[in-house]
Structure 1
Amino acid sequence: MSMEFCYGNGSCVRTVYPVAVHINLYFGLGSAVILTLLGNLFVIVAIAHFKQLHTPTNYLTLSLAVTDLLLAVMVMVPFMILSIETCWYFGEMFCKLHNSSSVLLCTASILNLSFISIDRYYAVCQPLLYPRRITVNTAVIMILVTWCVSSVVGFGMIFLELNILGIEEFYYNYVACEGGCFLFQSGVSSTVSSIISFYIPGVIMLGIYLKIYMVAQRQVRTIGLQDTSSSKRKATKTLAIIMGVFLSLWTPFFLCYIIDPYIGYSFQPALFDTLVWLGYLNSTINPLVYAFFYSWFRKAFQIIVSGRIFRSDMSDTKLFLFILSS
């Protein structure tokens, strides 16, 4: 690797990778972007088109898929170029929009997951209350809260420069440079934004899924039907995968994110880039966890790929006979 400047002396330093590394990075990160885009697009088309999927649970899943699709298009593509070229070529305003969108959409993705966990709690632990508590209106309110909170955190923090409040002189004298696009945070800003965007939703999800797991296990022990026991075991395995993927992909980034300002910003930018991409992969895997594991999506996928979706009677197709069998 060699070093040069993005726009000449005084601008940001650019890292130039060997051609082979350059090509492999574009191929690997580009593949992740395409998988994120296509996976979430299939979920959106399936839920929007098939009337049987128009349920509160699936509206929350639809919001998650839209969030992750926008993340792929608006954030992952420019960040891929920045990560590989190590220079920002799209101007200061688009840099602010990119950073704001990144915070907004990552927060929205995590909040969507939290509301889905609440939906699953009522479905498994309070099945008699579920039809009254989780209605279409409830799902709409959850979606509105998700996007409003995420917008305030994302755009409010970046455009009001709350992320560098109190450290403006240090940022503009020692960090900012032409050709750079940094999501730089003070200690207070990184702590508050991390708590809102990750730690609170993460604790909520962990607590809810542990409760669901214990209730499902208790039901398995008390209900002797083999089919029911098999269904419950499958449900608990799915919940374990959901939490395992979420925590393993996002925790490393948010740990470094909240620690870095308090240790003199010692972490290397390349480390942060790697951890950000690890978190973004959660949006790549979400369609697999929340949709590909279910029979209704596999059937919808077959209909979409075969082109039968364009037939006028396809929207009324029965993708499953009973909700529990999906």
Structure 2
Amino acid sequence: MNYTEYRQNITVQYCFPDNNSSCRKEIYTGPMNIFLLVFLLCISVCTVVLNLLVIISISHFKQLHTPTNLLILSLAVADLLLGLIFMPVKMMRLIDSCWYLGKMACCVLPVINAVLSSASLCSLVFIAADRYIAVCDPLLYSTRVTVCKTSLFIILGWSLSLFYITMCLYFNDHFLPSQISTRCEGECIVIITYYWVIIDLVVSFVVPCSVILILYSVIFNVARRQAKAIRVVKNAAPNKQGIEVSSSSETKAAKKLGTVIFVYLACWIPFYLSSLSTDSLISVSVIYAVFSWLVLINSSVNPLIYAIFYPWFRKSVCYIVTCRIFQSSSSRLNLFPKQTPR
């Protein structure tokens, strides 16, 4: 589709016909817009459903009340709220250029998105730290990492996210309702100054990304050394089956860690690289819209990485879908028939 055909698919109206200061409304009805809307709608629904299943599973079944699963629960709550609150608003802008929610909502919604995204990143860091302790110091894991301590860290992570975004609001005038660009009624343009883009790049990407990469690198190296040690022991034994088991475990661990790192970097690097190319980041720019959606898609991928790969999640989903969770004592059902839960 060329530019002329694209313009023919746009019907120009006014956001508020009875208001003389109303902005012009552009309704995008092209096939590409419809396809994109349907695709993102599916992403939003999957984000809500998958994270809701994770939340119900961990909250309902007593057997899943472990420190690691509490961190996954915190991550799922942040991702669920992103899919439930922020994604539908973003989809509205794909079919209608007008902003109908008022100036205050224009200011508050980006803040909600920032807080939830920061809380999600904090959960990812805590999950990496939890796995680091479990692999590198397994004998003391149960004493060093408890449900109570993990709950305190989750509260701390959400509090730090809220505090950081509050500081952004305080020092960045463009986030204030009185400073938001509204040349006409029905417009919402939030501008983030360049120096805050740099600060956010360091605080929200470089630091957590570095921590996650370092921790998972150490985890992988330790797991590989442990697998080699097991292989040496099994080589000395007549039974060679253990070699295949250890090699398979090492391969699975490498794939899972590689998936975690790749998805995290693939979703966040394009957004921050694009933000460095301009003096200010405008919320209505095409580049901002595309890469911010890529960051949001990470919220639908997180439950796939941290939950669906686990057998207990698949079994708990079966109980939820078949409504067996409404039976008496269903919270004490055994989700680990073959092994004791860690």
Tell me if both proteins adopt one fold, taking TM over 0.5 as the criterion: yes
- In the alignment, which residue of structure 2 is the partner of 1:279? 295
What residue ranges of structure 1 are gaps of 5+ in the alignment?
Answer: none
1:274-309, Cα deviation, whole Å (9 max, x unpaired): 101111010001111111101110111111111111
* Equivalent residue runs for 1:1-326 within 5 Å: 1=7, 2=10, 6-7=15-16, 14-158=25-169, 160=170, 162=172, 164=174, 177-224=184-231, 225-226=242-243, 227-261=245-279, 269-320=285-336, 321-322=338-339
Change (3 A) 1:234 1:92: same
Separation in structure 1 between the aligned mates of residue 75 and residue 173 of structure 2, nearest angstrom: 26
Separation in structure 2 between the aligned mates of residue 308 and residue 266 of structure 1, nearest angstrom: 48
Change (3 A) 1:291 1:123: same
Separation in structure 1 between the aligned mates of residue 271 and residue 190 of structure 2, nearest angstrom: 13
Change (3 A) 1:111 1:266: closer
Residue 19 of structure 1: CA displacement?
Answer: 4.5
Residue 12 of structure 1: CA displacement?
Answer: 5.2
- In the alignment, which residue of structure 1 is the partner of 2:239? none
Q: Secondary structure at the match of 1:100?
A: helix
Residue 84 of structure 1: CA displacement?
Answer: 3.1
Change (3 A) 1:32 1:307: same
1:56-113, Cα deviation, whole Å (9 max, x unpaired): 0000100000111111111111111123322211001111120110100111111110
Separation in structure 2 between the aligned mates of residue 222 and residue 46 of structure 1, nearest angstrom: 36
Amino acid corresponding to residue 272 of structure 2 in structure 1: F
Amino acid corresponding to residue 79 of structure 1 in structure 2: K
Contact residue 23 and residue 187 of structure 2 kept, 8 A: yes
Q: Secondary structure at the match of 1:280?
A: helix
1:246-266, Cα deviation, whole Å (9 max, x unpaired): 1101110122224422xx669
Separation in structure 2 between the aligned mates of residue 52 and residue 232 of structure 1, nearest angstrom: 27
Amino acid corresponding to residue 89 of structure 1 in structure 2: Y
Residue 197 of structure 1: CA displacement?
Answer: 1.8
Change (3 A) 1:31 1:22: same
Contact residue 274 and residue 287 of structure 2 kept, 8 A: no
Range moving further from structure 2, 240-249 or 83-92 = 83-92
Q: Kindly report the root-mean-square deviation, in angstroms, between the aligned alpha carbons of the 2 structures.
A: 2.7
Residue 13 of structure 1: CA displacement?
Answer: 5.7
1:120-166, Cα deviation, whole Å (9 max, x unpaired): 101111112211221112211221121111112234423x362539x
Separation in structure 2 between the aligned mates of residue 236 and residue 279 of structure 1, nearest angstrom: 24
Contact residue 25 and residue 84 of structure 1 kept, 8 A: no
**TM-score, with structure 2 as normaliser:** 0.85
Separation in structure 2 between the aligned mates of residue 155 and residue 83 of structure 1, nearest angstrom: 29
Amino acid corresponding to residue 257 of structure 2 in structure 1: L
Contact residue 118 and residue 204 of structure 2 kept, 8 A: yes
Q: Secondary structure at the match of 1:86?
A: coil
Separation in structure 2 between the aligned mates of residue 183 and residue 57 of structure 1, nearest angstrom: 37
Separation in structure 1 between the aligned mates of residue 192 and residue 108 of structure 2, nearest angstrom: 16
Amino acid corresponding to residue 297 of structure 2 in structure 1: L
Separation in structure 2 between the aligned mates of residue 323 and residue 243 of structure 1, nearest angstrom: 29
Residue 314 of structure 1: CA displacement?
Answer: 1.6
1:26-49, Cα deviation, whole Å (9 max, x unpaired): 211111110000000000000001
Q: Secondary structure at the match of 1:322?
A: coil
Separation in structure 1 between the aligned mates of residue 246 and residue 216 of structure 2, nearest angstrom: 19
Contact residue 43 and residue 65 of structure 1 kept, 8 A: yes
Percent identity (aligned): 37
Separation in structure 1 between the aligned mates of residue 191 and residue 43 of structure 2, nearest angstrom: 25
Q: Secondary structure at the match of 1:128?
A: helix
Separation in structure 2 between the aligned mates of residue 214 and residue 183 of structure 1, nearest angstrom: 44
Change (3 A) 1:198 1:15: farther
Range moving further from structure 2, 33-42 or 202-211 = 202-211
Amino acid corresponding to residue 141 of structure 1 in structure 2: L
